[in-house]
Amino acid sequence: MTTETLIAPDNRLLTLQGVLDGLVADRLVSKEAADQLARHRRHARSDMHPLVVVADQKWKDPRNPRKLLHIEALTQWLAEREGLPYLHIDPFKIDFAAVTKVMSNTYAQRYKILPVGINSKEATIAVCNRTAANGKSSCGRCCAWTSSASSRTRSTYRAT
């Protein structure tokens, strides 16, 4: 697996072309299939996340031909590729009463972040793009950073 980042050079968002280039480089998708999808989606205006677009293709996962490159597999692949911990968000395990005290719903939606855990010393925030994670990239399910109230430092949090 190569370690080149998939984020667009302007450091903003993950692009479909970046994801396709990474999948081809890591030999998870053929260049022909990636090029065909890129041509098909070139002029499409959509709010769909690039990983969702790829997952919708229902391509087989060459690491395990009995499985597809579904959204979870793609999210795990992206997290590993970008050097971030993977975080599966289980809505049943989030204490919404506690995490809503960290930030408003409007703020969370604006910056595409989600508080997923909080205790007396720190809050764990899942992020959807590079700028929200202090220069690290991710999609909505693969990165979280923990901010400590006492030290004001950020570090990654690996969910189990």
β-bridge mates for residue 117, sequence order: 124
Nearest in space to 124 (alpha carbons), one of 151, 94, 150, 104: 94
In this prediction, what percent of the chain has a pLDDT beyond 70? 72
Tokens standing for residue 15: 């692009």
5 falls in which pLDDT band (50, 70, 90)?
low
In this structure, are residues 133 and 145 in contact, taking their beta carbons and an 8 Å threshold?
Answer: yes
Q: What's the pLDDT at 121?
A: 83
- One-letter amino acid for residue 36 of the chain: Q
pTM for the complete prediction?
0.67
Rounded alpha-carbon distances, angstroms, from residue 155 to 73, 75, 109, 124, 136? 24, 20, 22, 10, 11
Pairwise CA distance, residues 2 & 125, whole Å: 27
Query: What average pLDDT is seen over the chain?
Result: 76
- Which phi and psi angles does 76 have, rounded to 5°? -65, -40
Query: If you count them, how many residues does the chain have?
Result: 160
Q: Hey, how many other C-beta atoms are within 10 angstroms of the C-beta on 7?
A: 19
Rounded to 10°, the helix 16-25/71-81 angle is 80
Domain ranges of the chain: 16-81, 91-156
For the stretch 79-122, pLDDT in tens is 888 887 787 888 888 888 888 888 888 888 888 788 888 888 88
